[in-house]
Amino acid sequence: MKKGRYWLMLMGIYATSFLLVGQALAQEVKAASAIAEVVVRGNQSVDASRILSVAHLRVGEEASVDGLRRATKAVAEMGYFSDVRLEAEEAPGGVRLILVVVEKPKLLTFSITGNKKFKTKDIQEKLELRPGITMADAQKVWEAKQKLLEMYHEKGYYSATVTEDFRVTGEGSTLLLRVVEGEKARIRKIEIQGNKAFPDRKILAAMKTKKRGWRRALRVLPAFSAGGYQADTLDGDLERIVYAYKRKGHLDASARVDSIAYNEKKTRMTLHLSVTEGLPYDVGQVAFAGDSLLDTTYLRGLATLKPGQRYDQARFDKTLEVLSSAYYDRGYIYSRIEPDLVPDHQTLSVTFRIQEGKPAHVRKINIVGNNRTREKIIRRELTIHPGDLFRRNAIMRSQRQVYFLNFFEEVMPIPGERDTATGDLDLNLQVKEKVTGQFQVGTTYDATNKFTGYFEVSQPNLFGRAQVANLKWQFGKTLQNVDLGFTEPWFRDSPTSVGFDIFRNTQTVNYWEELRSGGSLRLARPLIWPDYTRLYWQYSLEQIRLTISDSTGLSSLVLAEQGKRLASSTSFTERAIPTVRGMTENGNATESRSGRMGSSRGTLTGCSLFFGLKKFAMQ
């Protein structure tokens, strides 16, 4: 078979990829118009099937000059090749097309020096540079430098510089970026224009961005971070300035950055802010429209925004929040409240237009993430159940109850699948387990017992059943103490807590030895009223045995304490713990409290009755 090889198209990078096919080539293609086969040569890392899919050259189709030109251009624009050319040779049934490609060098190594404010790993992720990617031209190097400078500018390092050492060899390319971070730019001065109702100091007080000053700098030594600038913080400051104005009735207030001026070294800067205050508004009429579920008088009582007051954005936001809560707490989670503010001179009439929608119910409750704690332990703490109204307050209380088990780092209620016909939906409770057990070993020293050691282990979530078990052993030359405790928080599937403690304590000092052994039984149960209140009962029984080895010089009162005796006591305690005011975004309580075991606030009242023999007092 006669074979003739000739060039159809010569193509380099970009411009050379569009050379016209010669007249002889056009005639040859016309003579062999059908594509019999398409092959790819020269590719190493780019798959041939991917190249062919981009070229759109199909066997059996006509090999037109325009089609071949488009194919060559498309492959070149993939960006992986420094040279793309198309060759052809005669073949049975038409022409065989050969796409010959030369791949661009790959990035062999990428390194950074001089970076202290950013980790190398973070820079590599931001620049999206890693060994193995195509890296053969200065354009990508320039783009990488610009991204790196932007990272430093966002942190206030405007004097930072980046230089490169970029080398291309036959095997690939190497890139080294050298960073000189320089000094962080500090704010020398903040100038404000347009403010009349508010003095500069009040606007500056609303901002987190502060100017550099010795008094402020000394407060944060040795960090010396006073006067730092960050663009996102300044954007937030503009919003805080506007909010401060809206709290004083200036509903139309606005703030912007006019300009930022730098010194020659770009280490000091002056911010020029512009404020448009507008006129202050007083609240006129406060009305409600569309409220059929809740009485208007009730809604008006919830509103903190009252007629005759100076308009306050905080009061407006709070009113919108409590009105929404009033519906969400009744299961109307699809309700919408749209405020309509109508200004008239310097009076603002506010109408809350309410679209109540239909109430939603809970379909299923799915608990996810409890790898250790049994699902039953979580479900019994819930105050919302399948079939109940999807009430927000019940969900938040359930979230609180589960969080206060103290077994989870996070407790997040998330709406699940929704029935489009009824609006009812599932409730997914996402929890994240945390380590609950404790193991401690140590030594102590005091004047009486000298050196003593102790071993203590406790587990408040034994076998994932929320049972509490603890063991403590204290030992030394003059003492041996062993304490064992166990608590079942839900006895026989009721909220009644039952527990016991057993102890055996031995103390030896000079001429006497005291042995105390016994135990206690504990019961606790929540009260219906007041909320978050429990009643505790405890009965204790102990045997006390005193042995005196040398009675020389001891009084008859001390000697009378020898022997064994029993002591028992019982006590009733009522403990009230305050409710939690809120939860953070990840499901944690905003008040300081460590689950059922205690609280940072609250009241503790109780009375105790003791029965038994008199106690021995060591002289």
Instruction: Please report, for residues 378, 462, 464, 615, the alpha-carbon distance to residue 374 in angstroms, rounded to integers and kept in the order given.
Output: 7, 11, 5, 45
In angstroms, rounded to a whole number, what is the distance separating the alpha carbons of residues 165 and 172?
Answer: 14
Arithmetic mean of pLDDT, 220-229: 56
In this prediction, residue 214 carries a pLDDT of: 52
In this prediction, residue 338 carries a pLDDT of: 96
In this prediction, residue 577 carries a pLDDT of: 62
In this prediction, residue 85 carries a pLDDT of: 87
Q: pLDDT digit string (tens) for 288-301? A: 998 789 999 999 99
Query: What residues have CB less than 8 Å from 68, skipping those under 6 apart?
Result: 8, 9, 21, 29, 57, 86, 97
Sheet strands side by side (includes 186-193): 186-193, 268-276, 254-262
Query: E-strand spans in 42-160?
Result: 81-91, 94-103, 107-113
pLDDT higher than threshold 80 for residue 608: no
pLDDT higher than threshold 90 for residue 259: yes
CB 356 within 8 A of CB 380: no
Arithmetic mean of pLDDT, 198-210: 94
Q: pLDDT digit string (tens) for 355-405? A: 999 999 999 999 999 999 999 999 999 999 999 999 999 999 999 999 999
CB 65 within 8 A of CB 26: yes
Instruction: Please report, for residues 101, 133, 356, the alpha-carbon distance to residue 45 in angstroms, rounded to integers and kept in the order given.
Output: 11, 10, 60
- pLDDT band of residue 77 (cuts 50, 70, 90) is confident
Identity of the residue numbered 219: R
- pLDDT band of residue 616 (cuts 50, 70, 90) is very low
In angstroms, rounded to a whole number, what is the distance separating the alpha carbons of residues 354 and 326?
Answer: 12
- pLDDT band of residue 614 (cuts 50, 70, 90) is very low
In this prediction, residue 136 carries a pLDDT of: 56
In angstroms, rounded to a whole number, what is the distance separating the alpha carbons of residues 332 and 389?
Answer: 8
Q: How many CB atoms lie within 10 A of CB 215?
A: 7
Q: How many CB atoms lie within 10 A of CB 40?
A: 19
**Calculated CA dihedral for residues 143, 145, 146, 151, nearest 10 degrees:** 130
CB 103 within 8 A of CB 51: no
In angstroms, rounded to a whole number, what is the distance separating the alpha carbons of residues 322 and 440?
Answer: 48
For residue 377, give the H/E element and its range: helix 375-379
Check residue 532 and give left, alpha or beta (phi > 0: left; psi -120 to 50: alpha): left
Arithmetic mean of pLDDT, 501-512: 89
In this prediction, residue 367 carries a pLDDT of: 97
Q: Considering the chain, what is the average pLDDT of its residues?
A: 83
Buried b (16+ CB within 10 A) or exposed e, 331-367: bbbebebeeeeeeeeeebbbbbebebeebbbbbebeb
In angstroms, rounded to a whole number, what is the distance separating the alpha carbons of residues 453 and 474?
Answer: 6
Beta strands 425-433; 362-368: pairing state: parallel
Identity of the residue numbered 17: S
* Nearest of 380, 377, 332, 384 to residue 354 by alpha carbon: 332
Query: What residues have CB less than 8 Å from 612, skipping those under 6 apart?
Result: 565, 566, 567, 568, 569
C-alpha torsion sign, points 388, 389, 395, 397 = negative
In this prediction, residue 10 carries a pLDDT of: 31
Partners of residue 519 on adjacent β-strands: 502, 541
In this prediction, residue 133 carries a pLDDT of: 67
Partners of residue 567 on adjacent β-strands: 542, 612
- pLDDT band of residue 563 (cuts 50, 70, 90) is confident
Which is higher by pLDDT, 509 or 197? 197
What are residue 136's phi and psi, to 5 degrees? -135, 0
Arithmetic mean of pLDDT, 256-279: 92
Identity of the residue numbered 545: R
SS3 of residue 146 by DSSP? helix
Helix 65-76 and helix 48-55, axial crossing angle in degrees, nearest 10: 130
Query: What residues have CB less than 8 Å from 113, skipping those under 6 apart?
Result: 176, 177, 178, 179
In angstroms, rounded to a whole number, what is the distance separating the alpha carbons of residues 310 and 250?
Answer: 9
What is the token pair recorded at 101? 């490609």
CB 532 within 8 A of CB 578: yes
Which is higher by pLDDT, 371 or 139? 371
In angstroms, rounded to a whole number, what is the distance separating the alpha carbons of residues 577 and 599?
Answer: 7
Long-range contacts of 24-28 (CB under 8 A, 24+ apart): 25/65, 26/65, 28/88, 28/95
pLDDT higher than threshold 60 for residue 6: no
Arithmetic mean of pLDDT, 108-130: 85
Identity of the residue numbered 329: D
Domains of the chain and any CATH numbers: 6-103 (3.10.20.310), 107-180 (3.10.20.310), 186-276 (3.10.20.310), 282-355 (3.10.20.310), 362-433 (3.10.20.310), 438-612 (2.40.160.50)
- pLDDT band of residue 240 (cuts 50, 70, 90) is very high
